[in-house]
Amino acid sequence: MVGLPSPLNVHIKANHDFFLPSLSFFSIQSIVNIRNIELLNNPAKFDDDYHFRIKFEAIAPLAEDLDWRLIYVGSASSEEFDQELDNCSVGPIPAGVNAFDFLAPAPAHNLLPSVEPDEVLGVTVIIITASYREKEFVRVGYYVNTYYEEEELKENPPPVVQWDKLYRNVLIEKPKVTRFQNPWDSTQTNPFDNAQTSNGSGSGAGFEIPSGGSSEAFNAPLPPPVTKAAGGQGGLEVDQPMEVS
């Protein structure tokens, strides 16, 4: 890997490691904290890529990379329909603030729990997770509304989903952040490792996804999703602790 000057914006694609000389992001008793997450193409067609720009601050350098994932929650009741849309590794991490671009494809139609219009249209959740040494330390969830833009299709949805006319809108200004303790580069044990904070299974367990795409649904708080990475343990919930764009 080649060292690059800081600050740096890096275009990231799936399953690749990247050298990033200065990144920053900080949380409760954390070395790293997210400062800002932008979704540069929002709203967008349902099948368009997600294009995030993530800014974070590290208050101390890290020996290893940070691992990022974007997950689409296909069902609130089961992990079976979670889709990992993309992942990337960023590092090594020095102290400081930086930003990188994270592109991820749209969910695959054939992996959704159903392609019936009543199941596809409406509100679901996407989750950005960040891990260090295979231990998740932060999770950011957003509501996503899937809808038709044309009035005729809104009023009379066709019996077969018209994917090319389907849109999505991520409520990017209303994140729900759950943080987890992490020993980082020390050998210190995690004091929250045995703390149970959620019941159920699946990334959507423990909360209800509101039906339809109303502003009331979007204004509802987003409860913390549960993923395998954290095992539903040790979460410190924080509502909107960061700037968003």
pLDDT band at 3 (very low <50, low <70, confident <90, very high): very low
In a domain, 98, yes or no: yes
In a domain, 6, yes or no: no
Q: How far does CA 139 lie from the centroid of its chain?
A: 6
Per-residue pLDDT reduced to its tens digit, 148-182: 999 999 999 999 999 999 999 999 999 999 999 88
In a domain, 3, yes or no: no
Predicted local confidence at residue 29, as pLDDT: 60
Predicted local confidence at residue 98, as pLDDT: 80
In a domain, 128, yes or no: yes
Asked if 113 and 204 count as a contact pair (C-beta separation under 8 A), the reply is no
Sign of the Cα torsion 19, 21, 24, 27 reads positive
In a domain, 153, yes or no: yes
CATH number of the domain that 95 lies in? 2.60.40.1490
Total of domains in the chain: 1
Q: For residue 101, give its domain range.
A: 11-244
Asked if 170 and 126 count as a contact pair (C-beta separation under 8 A), the reply is yes
The average confidence (pLDDT) of the chain is 74
Per DSSP bridges, beta strands 17-18 and 44-45 are: unpaired
In a domain, 136, yes or no: yes
Neighbours of 8 (CB within 10 A): 15
